[in-house]
Structure 1
Amino acid sequence: MPDSRDVTACDWEREPDPSDSLRTFGAVVQALREHAGLSRVEFGARVRFSRHTVESVELGRRMPDESFVERAEEALGDTGALRKAARHLTRGEAGLAAWFRRWARLERAAVSLGTYECRLVPGLLQTEGYARAVFETRIPPLSDEQMETQVGARMERQSLIGELPNTCFSFVVEECVVQRPLGGERVLRDQLDHIVGLARLRNVSVQIMPTRTTSHAGLDGPLALLETPEGRALAYSEGQESGRLITDVKQAAVLHRRYATLRAQALTSPDSVGLLERIRGEL
């Protein structure tokens, strides 16, 4: 039997061709901004994005979302150049760990996604401030450029929830995770507000696992699951400096059963939102 990390060669599993589209788009933004005589701080204020985000886009480290393109277009003369250039953007994988890239591609084709986390807020739910706090704690430390690349990749991945309204997203998160003030109380307040907002979407379910629970099916650690359009169940497990894609039918089935049990053991979605709001109110 093949190793569970190996998968059959399919179009959605192959490495994508390298593309310079992000760098090209970023160079166009920078040229137009400089022609307009705007600093990154000034331009960021006009498009309602941080200087860090502007820099990441201009250096080709971050995929701009639709709002960035539209606001930048308006701020830089409304010539249509940025809208046209944006049509040729190719999603990159810079900033994603090598072992995670295959899973990230599978996510975009999934009909359902489930995540259990006991360490930190799941990446798909993180605010930019929280993501920065996560990467600032990395050992060895990241350079400024590495930091921006990592944050950009995480924010880009979050576009999944908005772009896949017919995909079901489920999250089970330990209570201690949403109480830890990573990055400070202000960052945590924004993060809690963000989670509550996402939890109100029809295709998103967020459940909190109480710290004082007496039964727990996820003691083996974090877990990610998905179902492909063909009905195939896959799983992903991550640890220190490594990740494992699980395609073996029996192994994946066991992990899907564990996750179903976790959801039954956690607070309901409404109760979880209520808990998040109470924690937010105490900060």
Structure 2
Amino acid sequence: MAYGNTDGGTGSAGGTEPEASDSLRTFGAVVHALREHAGLSREEFGKLVGYSKHTIASIEQGRRWPERGFVESAEPALGNTGALRKAAPYLTRQAGLASWFVQWARLEATAISLYTYDCRVIPGLLQTEAYARAISLDVPPLPDPEELEERIAARMARQELLSVNRKPPTAVSFIVEQSVLERHTGGDDVTRELLDHLIELIEGNWNVEFQIMPMRQPHHAGTDGPILLAETPEHRWFAYSEGQQNGRLISDPKEISILQQRYAKLRSQALTPEDSLSLLKRMRGAL
């Protein structure tokens, strides 16, 4: 999932490539020019700096953030011009978010209403650090330590959206499958902390509504997968759809209307907020 939940959006895994920016493309072009001037192929250069030719290609095309240490390894291989060291401080991106999730994250940051249904994982806005770490390490390929910390930090930072101190506070609704909670991702200790976090959040944030879709529900409007909806301050609605290593921002009113209808149906089929909180407490007591 993306750095959203997965970061990418609401799920577990995240992409490794940041949103392309002018600074990334410029940095990549400098790497490309210096490499060619040194008479090195991408494969040859990659061997010198310890990266695959595919990673070198991504950096040169401005699609991948150069990891810590890349500049110091690349400088001597490319003639010690100092160009990369001088350029590196000017690189900009929104760290820890998959490229396809960044547009949604920007909308999310100013939304006055946010609706999330997830059947795979606990939404990123509700995750604890331990839970985020567990799902990030569950889904191949494994992130390197720096990427993992960026991913978790980005996810935790997004949770400011739930604060009652925002002006105005965002009206937030979550619907989560009971099976996601019963999975005990990361083990009992991680689940115990997650349940404590959810209970505290729900009881302390009057702007957050949390509902559980029970294990047994003969009628279910969410069988097509997760739903994310956001309302802007101008009262325009957008939606986001996320899959394996990709995501799509939806602005078409007809598509959004369909998703709103499904979300409304899911709300009526899930446990009430009161019953959902009671179930969370029972689950916590059973651990």
Shared fold, TM over 0.5: yes
The match for 1:136 is: 137
Q: Which runs of 5+ in 1 are unaligned?
A: 1-13, 20-58, 60-90
The match for 1:149 is: 150
Letter of the 2:158 partner, please give it.
R
Distance 1:92 1:272 in 2: 38
Distance 1:269 1:206 in 2: 6
Moved segments of 4+, more than 4 Å: 14-19
> 1:126-166: CA deviations, max 9, x gaps?
00110110111120111111111111111111111125352
Q: Determine if contact 2:96/2:153 at 8 Å carries over to the other structure.
A: yes
1:217 to 221, 234, 239: 221
The match for 2:103 is: 102
Q: Determine if contact 2:162/2:169 at 8 Å carries over to the other structure.
A: no
Distance 1:244 1:278 in 2: 37
Change (3 A) 1:15 1:160: farther
Identity %: 52
Give SS of 1:158's match.
helix
1:233 Cα deviation from its structure 2 partner = 1.4
Change (3 A) 1:136 1:18: same
The match for 1:253 is: 257
Distance 1:219 1:127 in 2: 26
Q: Determine if contact 1:233/1:253 at 8 Å carries over to the other structure.
A: no
The match for 1:175 is: 178
Higher gyration radius (CA): 2
> 1:82-127: CA deviations, max 9, x gaps?
xxxxxxxxx9621111100000000111110000000010000000
The match for 1:161 is: 162
Distance 1:124 1:16 in 2: 26
Matches within 5 A, 1:230-241: 230-241=234-245
Distance 1:18 1:168 in 2: 35
Distance 1:122 1:246 in 2: 19
Matches within 5 A, 1:115-134: 115-134=116-135
The match for 2:43 is: none
Paired residues, what number? 200
Tell me whether 1:188 sits opposite 2:186 in the alignment.
Answer: no
1:257 Cα deviation from its structure 2 partner = 1.1
Distance 1:17 1:274 in 2: 50
> 1:180-239: CA deviations, max 9, x gaps?
111110110110111111112110000000010011000000110011111111111111
Distance 1:186 1:281 in 2: 13
Q: Determine if contact 1:237/1:243 at 8 Å carries over to the other structure.
A: yes
Query: How big is the alpha-carbon RMSD for the aligned residues of Structure 1 and Structure 2?
Result: 2.0
1:277 Cα deviation from its structure 2 partner = 0.7
The match for 1:31 is: none
Change (3 A) 1:16 1:141: closer
